[in-house]
Structures are given as structure tokens and as C-alpha cells.
Amino acid sequence: MSFENFAKKISRSLSDVKDAPFVKEVCKACSNMYRLGWDERNGGNISYLLEEKEVEKYLDTEGCLREIPMGFKANILAGKYFLVTGTGKYFKNVEEDPANNLGIIKIAADGETAKLLWGWEDGGRFTSELPAHLMSHMSRLSADPENRVIMHSHPTNILAMTFVHDLDEREFTRSLWRMITECMVVFPDGVGVLPWMLCGNNEIGEATAEKMKEFRLVVWANHGIYGAGKTMDEAFGLIETVEKAAELYLKTAHLPRVNTITDEQLKIIADGFHLKAKEGWLDL
């Protein structure tokens, strides 16, 4: 292939990838999360595990624009592809300029290096929370091989709830379950909760990944939440439902409780939808 034809191929690929369904999904999610006030400034991040057959329609999977050290080992994910939001990037800008705000990486064979296939055209790199994301991906894949999305955001009411509610995850979850009938339907497996920890390092990533072995939702006290799902909609919907429940909790916590959803009723919901509530988390 001549250099001219090779250049045309690369140019065409770089243009086409912006129209890829998975890129559009992330762009739409980022816009919605910013619109809802979940991701102020450069807060929040998303990682999306892609299949090779999806990526190779748009990019040379053996190519590499540059290599970026990850600062930790992810050998289990070697050879895997991820669409990731960039560090310091604002969610409000992603849809308008995905090539600068997003990147598609392939985890190198050494498990310690990310090969950039597309994106971060301004010289950027992946979110500082990449260790937490990839560790969570490893946990979720071991629990459910179909889980492909990890989403981190700072929903206002969830954050506020961590200031006024006991951080025991059983009690935290039970308070959320009682707010909306749908909560038991959406997250019968409950919500994991971590105390305040410094973000952007391997320690919080390891703690989150440990929780992700049994929860699809992990709250970071005074910071935000991690959600995992098979699709972008599922991960978004999990966080959306918890945020709505947290808002209702805050609006009613200081008022006399006249009515509530009882544990017996929570079991009726679980049975009615053929779900299994977190073992031992209902007082029956």
C-alpha cells in the first residue's frame, strides 16, 4: 500500500470512529450526566469495554499512536479494548469534541501499558481513575462476563446522603429500598459503601474492586458513586435510580414517617419480580 493510500485509510478511520455507536453512546451519557448535575467541571469518568470486532470496523487494532504507562498491572485485561474519558476533561465538551475528550486504548501484553489507538488528540491521557475502573472491570467480569461499563459520577443527593446517614451498607441500602418500589427491582443486590478515601490512587481502586465482586453500585462517601452494567443504559439507570431514592430520603428524613415500604412489602416486590434480595438484609 502506498503512503498516500495508507494516509487516506488512517484519515478515513479517524473520521469514521466518531460516528461509531459506542462513541455516540458515551457522548450521549456524558451530556446527560452533565445536564443532571452529576459531573461538574472535570468530575466523573466512564470506561467501556469494547469487543475487538467492534473496534476493528473503525481502527487498526494493531496500530498505536503512543504508549501510556498505567502505573499498575492488569494482566487479566491484556489485549482488551476500552473507550475511556480523559483526565481533566469536562463532560459538557465530550459530545462536541469526542476526539480530544475520549480515547480508545488497548491494554498491552505486559498489562502495565495502554496503547492509544484513537483520541486525546491534544496530547491528553486517560482519567486518573483508570486503576479503579480497570480493577472494577476485572471484578465485575468475574461476577458477570457480560458487564462492560463502569461509570463514576458525583450525584448531588447521593453525596448529601453520605453526610447524614450511617455508612453501614446494609442500612444505607435499606433506606434507599424503602424510598421507591422500583429500587428493589433495579438493585436487589444492594449498594456497597466505602468511607472517605483519597481518590485517583490504587488504594481506592482496590477497595472499590473488592466491593464490585458483590455489588454493581459502590458509593464513595462524600465523593460520588461507581456503577457497573452490561450496557451504558444499565449503568446509567442504576445510578439514576439511587439518586432519585436519595433525593426522596433527604426530602423526608426530617419529617415524621407516616407511611413506608415495609420489609414484608420489599419481599413481595422481590418475589413478584422473581428477584433475590441481598441475603440477610430484610428483617423478616
Structural contact between residues 278 and 188, judged by C-beta atoms closer than 8 angstroms: yes
- For residue 195 the three cell numbers come to 468511607
Listed in sequence order, the residues at least 6 apart from 255 whose beta carbon sits closer than 8 Å to its beta carbon are none
Report whether 149 contacts 117 (CB < 8 A). Answer: no
Strand order of the β-sheet with 217-220 is 66-69, 113-119, 102-107, 81-85, 45-50, 149-153, 224-229, 217-220, 192-194
- The Cα 284–Cα 264 span in angstroms is 7
Active site residue 129: yes
From the list 129, 169, 234, 247, the catalytic residue is: 129
According to DSSP, the residues that pair with 198 across neighbouring strands are none
What are the catalytic residues? 129
